[in-house]
Structure 1
Amino acid sequence: MIKHFTKSALLLGCVGLMLGSCSKPMRSQKTGIVYNNKYNGGYMRFQKTHPAPGPGLVAIEGGTFVLGGSADQDVTYDYNNTRRRVTIGSFYMDETEVSNQDWLEYLHYLSIHYTGDRELYYNAMPDTLVWRRPLSYNEPYVDNYLRHPAFQDYPVVGVTWEQIQDYCTFRTNQSNENLLRESGKLAAWKDMNGATPGAAPAVAGTKEAFDTDIYLNGQYKGQGLDGKKMMADLNPNAKPGANGKATRTVRMEDGILKPAYRLPTEAEWEYAALGLAGNTEFENIEDGKIYPWNGMGVRSPKKRTRGMILANFKRGAGDNMGVGGSLNDKADITAPVRSYEPNDFGLYNMAGNVNEWTSDVYRQMSFEDVEDFNPYRGNEYTNKRLADPEKGIYAKDKYGRPIKDAAKSNKKLPWNEFIAQQQGQKAAPATTIAPPAGVPTGAATAALSGKPFNADQRGFADSTDNSLYGITTLVNDHSKVYKGGSWNDRAMWMNPATRRFMDQGEASAEVGFRCAMSMVGAPEINPNGKSHFSVKKPKNYSPKK
C-alpha cells in the first residue's frame, strides 16, 4: 500500500511539474526575455541533459591516478614511464576492440557511397599480409581472417594509425546520420527517393555522403534530404517550407548529435585499463593493480574458473594456448572481442588479445613533459577552410568532407586577418611597432636560430630534418604509442603502464584498436545516492512585479 502511494505521489508530482512548467515559461535570468518564443526573436533553449554515450561505448568516470604507477619493472630499460600523478577527465570508451565485422561494415559503406573510387576502398583495406612470417605457415589467416564468418567477432588487425583516423570519421558520421534519420530529422532510410541504401540522394548531379560538420553548418539540407520531423525554426526571419511551417536542421545546441569518435589518448587508455574505480571508496584506493584485474597472478582465483588464464597472451616460448585436450586461454591467435572477464569499468580485453593504438606521439620522457590534466602529446590544430567566408560556407573535398588546414593561431583572429588568411593573403596590421634597438630582425634572426622563425602555435611550419629517421632513430612525430600486450606477447606487456611505439603507417597482426569519445557536461557518472550541496534554482523573473 505504501509502495503504491509513493508511485502515485511521484506521478502526480511529475504531472504538476509539467503543468507548472507550461504555465511559467522559461525566461532569461539576465534580460527577462521568454525563451522558445517566436514573437520575441525565437532564441531556443533546451533542457540541460547529460547525454548518453554513442553506440558501443561505456562511460569512464575520470579522476586522479598515477600515470605509470602500475609498472612493477622497467621492461624496456628505457626509463620511459616515470610515475606522474595526473587527472583524467570523464570520457567514453569502446566496450570491446573493434572487430572484423565492424571494419567490414566500414568497407561496405565505402563501396556503396564511392562506387567509382577503387583507390579509396583499397586504402581502407587492412593489410592481411601482416600474418605472413618467413618461417611460419600463416597463409590461411591471410586469406580468411578478415572476411570469413568464423572470425567476424575477432579484433581487426593489420590496420594503421592513419586508417583508423578515417574509420573514426566514418563512425561519427554514420552514427549521427542514423540518429537523425531514425528520429525524422533527416529523410528516413526508406524514403530516400530510390537512392542507394545508406547514401544521400543525388545533389546537383552528384551523390554526396553525410558529414556531421557539413550538416551542422547547414550545408546538408533541402528537398529529398529533410525529414518529416524537422526542428521548428522560431527565428522571425525564417521562411515557411512547403508544409507552411518554418523548420531547420539540428544544431549542436540541441544536444542531439554525438561528439566525434576518436582514438583514446595514452593516459586515458591506461586509466581505463586499470579500472581502479572498483577498488576505491571515499577517495581511498584499497588495493593497486598490476593488471586490469586484482591480484598478482594471471590465473582466475574463482571456484568455477579456478586456474584458468585471465587473458589471451603467450605464457612462454612455444606456448600460445596450453595443452591439447585442456586449452587454457582457449585461443591460438586472437580471441573474440568479448572473451574473458571485463574489468571494473566493463571493458573487455584491456590486457592481451591485441595491442591497441592510442592517439599519442611517442616520446621517451612524455610523462615528465605533459600537463597534469588530460595529459597528451600530439596536438595538431586545424581550422575548416571556408569556400565563402562571407556566407560561412565550408570548402569540401571530393568525398564531401570539410577541408581542414593547419591552424596558425591559438586565438580568434580579427575579421580582416581571418578573411585574408582564408583567401591566402597576408593582412597588413593596423599599426606597426618597431622592435627595440639592438633586437635582431629578418635575416639576422634566422642566422641566430639556424632556421627561419614562423610564429605559430605548435611549430607546424618550422623546418625539420628527417634525414636520419630510420637510421639512428625511429622516434619522430609519426611514431605513435600502442599498449596492452597481445596474443603473441608475454605477460609483462599486459601491465597497463608499459608502452611501445610504431610508425603510424605501419601495421601488425598483433595490434588493433578501440575508439573513445569525449564526454560533455558534468564528470560524475552516477550521482544518485552520493552527497551533494543543495543548489537553489533561480527565481523566475516576472515583469509584472
Structure 2
Amino acid sequence: MNISNFSISTLLLVATSMALISSCSSKKGNKDVSSKTGVAYNDPYNGGLHINRQVKESPGPGLVAIEGGTFVMGGSLNEDLGYAHDNLKRRVTVASFYMDETEVSNADWLEYLHWIAQNFPEDGEMYYNALPDSLVWRNPLSYNEPYVNLYLRHPAFQDYPVVGVTWDQANEYCTWRTDRVNENILRQSGVLVDYQANSQNNNAGGKFNTDMYLNGQLKGDGIDGQNMPNDARPGAPAGAKRTVRMEDGILKQPYRLPTEAEWEYAALGLIGNTEEGNINTSKIYPWNGLGVRSANRKDQGQMVANFKITSGNNMGVAGNLNDGGDITVPVTSYAANDFGLYNMGGNVNEWVGDVYRQLSFEDFEDFNPFRGNVFTNNKYEDAENRILAKDKYGRPVKVPAKAPRKQSWAELQAAKNGGDSAAVGTGYNNDARGFDDEIDPKLYGNTTLVNNNSRVYKGGSWNDRAYWLNPATRRFMQQNQSNAMTGFRCAMTMVGNVFGPASNQRIKSGKKAKSNKKSKSNAGDSRV
C-alpha cells in the first residue's frame, strides 16, 4: 500500500515537473510548442525548427489591401460599341491581394534609372533597355515635341504617370522593385550591412536578389550585418548567426502586374456598394452613378476622371476647365475609389499580366482567372549543393518547367543520367498561354493580330473617350510596344488573409460581423 502510494506520488511529481519544464521551455524566449507533438519550436535542443507566430502580414511600400470576393467579370459593361463580345459576363472569385494606390510615376521610374546608373555604370545596355520610349509623343500632325525631352525628366512632371513603357519593361520594374524593397528591409534592420559600408564592397553591391539571398548565396564579409538572426541548429557554434529565411516572415513577396480579373475587380470597388453580403447597387465606372460628372455639391458637374471629353476637347473651356488634363495629370488627381485607388479610370491605360484572347471568357477558371502562365524553374549551377545559376545582374536563371507536378526521385535521377525520356516528363508544354484554345495557334499573328505576346491593357486614358473608362472594357497591344497613353501599377499576392473569415468574427464577438458598407461619395474616405 505504502509502495503503491509512493509510486503514485512519485509519478505525479515527475509529471508535474515535466509539465513545468515544458511550460518554462515554451515560454522562454517566446517559444511556441507543436500542437501535434508537444515539441518546442525555436529550440536548439530539438533541432531548432523555426516557426514564427508573431508575424503580422502587411503590404509592401505603396500598396493598399484589396479585400477579395466574388463579382461578375464583364458585368459593368453596359454597351459593346465595337461588338467585340470579348468580355461576356461570368461570375468569378478574386482572392484578397495588394495593389498600388497610384500609377507608377515619372519620379518612380527615375529612381529605377538612377539605381541602374549607380550600380551598373558600365552597362549601357541595361540602362538603355530601361529607358521609356519618349518618342511615343511624336505625331506627324501634332506639336508634341516638347514632351519628348521634358515629360520624363522635368520636375513639373515628376508626379505624372510614366508612359512609353512596354509590358516587358513594366515586369522588369516589378522584379527590380521586389529586390530593392527587400534589400532596404534587411539593411534598415541591420541584417545586411548599411548602404555606406556596402558601397565600399563589391560582393553584393547592386546585385542583391531576393531568391539568391534566400538560397544562402549572398552572405559573408561585407554583406552580413550585426542583427542577423541567431542560428539555433544543433551543433552551431555559440553566437552563430544565419541569413533570414522565408519562414521568418520578414521579406515581402514579389511585386508583379495585376491579373486582368484583379484589375477589373479593384477598379470597380464594389466594397462601397455592399451590405451584409449583398451588392445593393452596381457600377459602370470606378465611381457611383451613370455619368462621368461629379454629383457632389462642392464640385457638381465637374469631370471625375481625365479623359477625352469629345472630339477636340481634352480638358474643357478656359476659365472653367472640366477634367483639367490636356495630357496626363498627377497620379493622385481626382478622388480615389472605394478601395482607395486613384485613377482606375482615365489618366493612362494600365498594363495587366494577361495574354489577350477574344474568347478568354470561355476558357477560364472561376477562382483567380488568368491567362498567360509560362511555368519556369530556377536553373541550378550545382544541383547537388543546390547552388542556383545566376546572370550577370545576380538574378537566378530561369529554365522551362519539365513536368506539371513534382517528379519522383527516380525520375529526377533518370533525367540527370539521360534516362528514359518518358520518365522525366518529355512532352510537357510549360507554355500555357494558349491553353484550351480552340483555334489553331499557327493562325495567331497571321490571320489575326493576336498572338502569345499580345497583352491586355485596361482603364482608358487622357486621350480616350468615356467608354474606355468602364473597367470591363479591354484592349491589347504587343508586349514590346508602348504609347503615350499607357502606363501601369503593381500588385502583390496577399499571403494568408488579413481580413479573416467573417463567420469567425461573428462567433468570437457573438455579434454580426461589421458591414463593409462605405461612404458612396467620391471623397476617397474609405481608403484602406
**TM-score for both structures, normalised by structure 2:** 0.86
The structure-2 alpha-carbon separation of the partners of 1:25 and 1:121, relative to structure 1 and needing over 3 Å to count, comes to: closer
Cα shift at 1:529? 11
Contact 1:389 1:419 (8 Å CA) reproduced = no
The structure-2 alpha-carbon separation of the partners of 1:24 and 1:153, relative to structure 1 and needing over 3 Å to count, comes to: closer
Provide the residue aligned with 2:255 in structure 1: 261
Contact 1:59 1:525 (8 Å CA) reproduced = no
The structure-2 alpha-carbon separation of the partners of 1:518 and 1:117, relative to structure 1 and needing over 3 Å to count, comes to: same
Contact 2:208 2:394 (8 Å CA) reproduced = yes
1:456 is the counterpart of 2:462: no
The structure-2 alpha-carbon separation of the partners of 1:306 and 1:167, relative to structure 1 and needing over 3 Å to count, comes to: same
Cα shift at 1:460? 8.4
Cα shift at 1:426? 2.8
Equivalent in 40, 49, 54 of residue 46 of structure 2? 40
Provide the residue aligned with 1:236 in structure 2: 234
Distance 1:523 1:410 in 2: 31
Contact 1:358 1:480 (8 Å CA) reproduced = yes
The structure-2 alpha-carbon separation of the partners of 1:279 and 1:397, relative to structure 1 and needing over 3 Å to count, comes to: same
Provide the residue aligned with 2:460 in structure 1: 485
Provide the residue aligned with 2:495 in structure 1: 520
Equivalent in 189, 197, 208 of residue 191 of structure 1? 197
Equivalent in 69, 74, 98 of residue 75 of structure 2? 69
Please give the per-residue CA displacement for 1:289-337, whole angstroms capped at 9, x wherever unaligned: 0000000011111111111100000010000000112211121000000
Distance 1:56 1:111 in 2: 23
Output aligned runs, 1:282-361, within 5 Å: 282-361=276-355
Provide the residue aligned with 1:428 in structure 2: 420
1:202 is the counterpart of 2:202: yes
Cα shift at 1:236? 1.1
Output aligned runs, 1:53-68, within 5 Å: 53-68=59-74
Distance 1:455 1:33 in 2: 42
Contact 2:87 2:361 (8 Å CA) reproduced = yes
Contact 2:67 2:96 (8 Å CA) reproduced = yes
The structure-2 alpha-carbon separation of the partners of 1:254 and 1:284, relative to structure 1 and needing over 3 Å to count, comes to: same
Equivalent in 231, 246, 252 of residue 246 of structure 2? 252
The structure-2 alpha-carbon separation of the partners of 1:388 and 1:461, relative to structure 1 and needing over 3 Å to count, comes to: farther
SS at match of 1:278: helix
Distance 1:461 1:293 in 2: 34
Provide the residue aligned with 2:220 in structure 1: 222
The structure-2 alpha-carbon separation of the partners of 1:531 and 1:95, relative to structure 1 and needing over 3 Å to count, comes to: same
Contact 1:176 1:212 (8 Å CA) reproduced = yes
Distance 1:382 1:429 in 2: 19
Contact 2:411 2:423 (8 Å CA) reproduced = no
Distance 2:273 2:504 in 1: 18
Cα shift at 1:33? 1.4
Is 407-416 or 265-274 further displaced after alignment? 407-416
Cα shift at 1:37? 1.2
Is 474-483 or 207-216 further displaced after alignment? 207-216
Cα shift at 1:19? 12
Distance 2:152 2:422 in 1: 59
Contact 2:434 2:441 (8 Å CA) reproduced = no
Provide the residue aligned with 2:517 in structure 1: none
Q: What letter is aligned with 1:220?
A: L
Cα shift at 1:165? 1.2
Please give the per-residue CA displacement for 1:400-438, whole angstroms capped at 9, x wherever unaligned: 1000001121111223533564x5x63337999xxxxxx
1:119 is the counterpart of 2:125: yes
The structure-2 alpha-carbon separation of the partners of 1:31 and 1:526, relative to structure 1 and needing over 3 Å to count, comes to: closer
Q: What letter is aligned with 1:230?
A: M
1:389 is the counterpart of 2:383: yes
SS at match of 2:72: strand
Cα shift at 1:23? 9.2
Distance 1:478 1:460 in 2: 9
SS at match of 1:76: coil
Gaps of 5+ in 1: 1-16, 196-200, 433-452, 536-545
What number of residue pairs does the alignment pair up?
Answer: 484
Contact 2:25 2:40 (8 Å CA) reproduced = no
Provide the residue aligned with 2:17 in structure 1: none
Distance 1:187 1:533 in 2: 44
The structure-2 alpha-carbon separation of the partners of 1:356 and 1:525, relative to structure 1 and needing over 3 Å to count, comes to: farther
**TM-score for both structures, normalised by structure 1:** 0.84
Contact 2:102 2:331 (8 Å CA) reproduced = yes
Distance 1:277 1:487 in 2: 26
RMSD: 2.7
Distance 2:433 2:309 in 1: 44
Distance 2:383 2:178 in 1: 26
Q: What letter is aligned with 1:506?
A: Q
Provide the residue aligned with 1:541 in structure 2: none
Gaps of 5+ in 2: 1-22, 511-528
> How much identity, in percent, do the aligned residues show?
58
The structure-2 alpha-carbon separation of the partners of 1:136 and 1:427, relative to structure 1 and needing over 3 Å to count, comes to: same
Provide the residue aligned with 1:499 in structure 2: 474
The structure-2 alpha-carbon separation of the partners of 1:362 and 1:431, relative to structure 1 and needing over 3 Å to count, comes to: closer
Cα shift at 1:469? 5.6
Q: What letter is aligned with 2:292?
A: V
Please give the per-residue CA displacement for 1:174-193, whole angstroms capped at 9, x wherever unaligned: 0000000001111122332x
The structure-2 alpha-carbon separation of the partners of 1:460 and 1:372, relative to structure 1 and needing over 3 Å to count, comes to: closer
Distance 1:18 1:280 in 2: 48
Cα shift at 1:49? 3.4
Output aligned runs, 1:411-426, within 5 Å: 411-418=405-412, 421=415, 426=418
The structure-2 alpha-carbon separation of the partners of 1:303 and 1:459, relative to structure 1 and needing over 3 Å to count, comes to: closer
Contact 1:93 1:517 (8 Å CA) reproduced = yes
